[in-house]
Amino acid sequence: MRWRSYVAIGDSFTEGLDDPYPDGSFRGWADLVATRLAVEAGPDFQYANLAIRGRTFPNVVAEQVPAALAMQPDLISFAAGGNDVLRRSFDPDALVSRFEKVVGELRGGGADVVLFRFADVMARLPGQRLIAPRVALLNRAVGETAERHGAILVDLYADDTYLHPMLWSTDRLHLSPAGHRRVAGQVLTALGVGCDEEWLLVPPTPEPTPWLSARSADMRWAGQHLAPWIRRRLTGRSSGDARHPKRPT
């Protein structure tokens, strides 16, 4: 296997929310991929995960890209922009232009680069009319950039399995453990490395929720997850404030 070192860059998607280890820290698809690559590469395999929840694209580029390039890894995964499309300040032209430049820098360092077209998370969230076109634009830019720079593309958007509610956590925004396993399996497949077949299995579809119960669940979700997110936007705070990468070296 040609990869002896791997660095993961991004936000909560790559940090691993909401796939907990027994101690309460988060695992996620990137840790799963690194574990499998380490089996193939042997004891000298190296892995760093620089991702921090809540980081926008400019934060990721400023904080994580230079650190990743300095490590000179054989493989880099880069997933950013998901938090940007949720903000009023979203500037599609600026993000697409910078995305192209950053991927060129990562590839120019000699690493293989994994990019992602994001899954359709808006099917379960409000604001679809505003946000869905932004996600489509970002996904299109990711695909075109991957083709131009010879990056490895993992197309989560093309996989309708991510419409399955059991692949998402209770906050409806982050992946569940089953979702992270599926992403890990797809990344390893794109790399030509085998994975545990169970990672790609689709959980059983839950029974339809009665209307009244569904509305009650919506109200609980709004209070537990939507309201805190809105408060952070209004106060200029982030869920990742004062947090550091879980595997910085």
In-domain check, residue 249? no
In-domain check, residue 118? yes
In-domain check, residue 240? no
User: What is the structure's pLDDT at 26?
Assistant: 95
In this prediction, residue 231 has a pLDDT band, given cuts at 50, 70 and 90, of confident
Alpha-carbon torsion (47, 121, 58, 107), positive or negative:
positive
How far, in Å, CA of 120 to CA of 196, rounded? Answer: 24
How far, in Å, CA of 213 to CA of 60, rounded? Answer: 39
**Given a cut of 80, is residue 167 above it in pLDDT?**
yes
In-domain check, residue 136? yes
**Given a cut of 80, is residue 222 above it in pLDDT?**
no
Tokens 């922009």 correspond to 81
Q: In angstroms, how far is CA 40 from the centroid of its own chain?
A: 24
How far, in Å, CA of 169 to CA of 165, rounded? Answer: 8
**Given a cut of 70, is residue 126 above it in pLDDT?**
no
Q: Are 46 and 6 in contact (CB under 8 A)?
A: yes
**Given a cut of 80, is residue 240 above it in pLDDT?**
no
In-domain check, residue 247? no
In-domain check, residue 75? yes
- The predicted-structure confidence for 7-29, as pLDDT tens digits, reads as follows 999 999 999 999 999 998 999 99
User: What is the structure's pLDDT at 127?
Assistant: 64
CATH number for the domain that contains residue 224: 3.40.50.1110
Over the range 153-180, which residues count as b (16 or more CB within 10 Å of their CB) and which as e? Answer: bbbbbebebbebeebbbebbbbbbbbbb
Looking at the chain, the whole-number percentage of residues with pLDDT higher than 90 is: 61
In-domain check, residue 46? yes
- Its domain, for residue 156, covers 5-235
Number of domains in the chain: 1
- 134 secondary structure, DSSP code: H
Q: Are 1 and 40 in contact (CB under 8 A)?
A: yes
Contacts of 46 (CB under 8 A, 6+ apart): 4, 5, 6, 73
123 C-beta neighbours (distance < 10 Å), count: 13
In-domain check, residue 177? yes
